[in-house]
Chain A
Amino acid sequence: MSVAATKSDGQTMRAAPSHKLVIERMSYRYYVEPEETEFLAFTDVSLTIDDGEFVAIVGPSGCGKTTLLNVIAGLLPHEEGTLTIAGEPVRGPGVNRSMVFQNASLLPWRTVLGNVRYGMEMQRRFDRDVMDRRARDMIALVGLAGFERRFPLQLSGGMQQRVNLARALATDPQVLLMDEPFAALDAQTREFMQVELLKIWARSNKTVLFITHQIDEAAFLADRVVVMGTRPGRIKREFRVDFERPRALSLKRDPRFLAVCDDIWRLIEEEAERINIVRTQ
Chain B
Amino acid sequence: MSAQIQTLTTATALTPRRRRSFLARHEPLVYGALAVLCLLVLWEFCWQMGAISPLFFSGPTAVAAKFWELATNGSLLHDAAYTGRNFLIGFLLALITGVPIGVLLGWYRRLNLFFDPVVNALYAMPRIALYPLIIIWFGIGSGSKVFIVFLSATLPILVNTIAGVRNIDPDLLKAARAFCAKDRQIFVTVALPSSVPFILTGVRQGIALGLIGAIIGELFAGSEGIGYMISYAGQMFQTDTLLVGVVVVAAAGMMLTAAAERARRHFQRWRPEHVGGR
Chain A positions within 8 Å of B185 at CB level: 121-122
With the chains together, A75 CA to B170 CA distance in Å? 13
B179 contacts which of A123, A151, A152 (Cβ < 8 Å)?
A: A123
- Whether a CB of chain B sits under 8 angstroms from the CB of A77 is no
Contact with B along A88-107 (1 / 0, CB 8 A): 00000111001101010101
Contact-residue bracket for chain B = 20 to 34
| Interface check B40, CB cutoff 8 A | no
Residue from A93, A110, A153, A154 in contact with B180 in the complex, judged by beta carbons closer than 8 Å: A93
Residue on A nearest B267 in the bound complex, by CB: A109
B197 to chain A, nearest CB (A): 10
The 9 A-B pairs with the shortest beta carbon distances in the complex, nearest first, are: A151-B270, A122-B179, A122-B181, A105-B175, A105-B171, A119-B179, A99-B178, A109-B270, A93-B180
A95 to B180, CA, bound (A): 7
Return the contact of A105 from the options B174, B270, B272 (Cβ within 8 A): B174
- Give the chain B neighbours of A101 by CB distance below 8 A: 171, 174-175, 178
Q: Could you tell me if A75 and B180 are in contact, using CB atoms closer than 8 angstroms?
A: no
Q: Hey, which chain B residues are within 8 Å of A17, CB to CB?
A: none
Residues of A that sit less than 8 Å from B by CB: 73-75, 93-95, 98-99, 101, 103, 105, 107-110, 118-119, 121-123, 151-154, 171
Main secondary structure of the interface of A (DSSP, over half): loop
B177 at the interface (CB under 8 A from A): yes
Q: Is the CB of B179 within 8 A of A94?
A: no
Q: Indicate with 1 or 0, residue by residue over B154-188, a CB within 8 angstroms of chain A CB atoms.
A: 00000000000000010110111111110001000
Q: Which residues of A contact B180 (CB under 8 A)?
A: 93-95, 122-123
- Pairwise interchain contact A109-B193, C-beta atoms closer than 8 A: yes
- Min CB distance A220 to B, Å, is 26
Residues of A within 8 A of B194 (CB): 109
- Residue of A whose beta carbon sits closest to that of B175: A105
Chain A: minimal CB distance from B269 (Å): 8
- B230 → chain A closest CB, angstroms: 43
CA distance A121 to B181 in the complex (A): 9
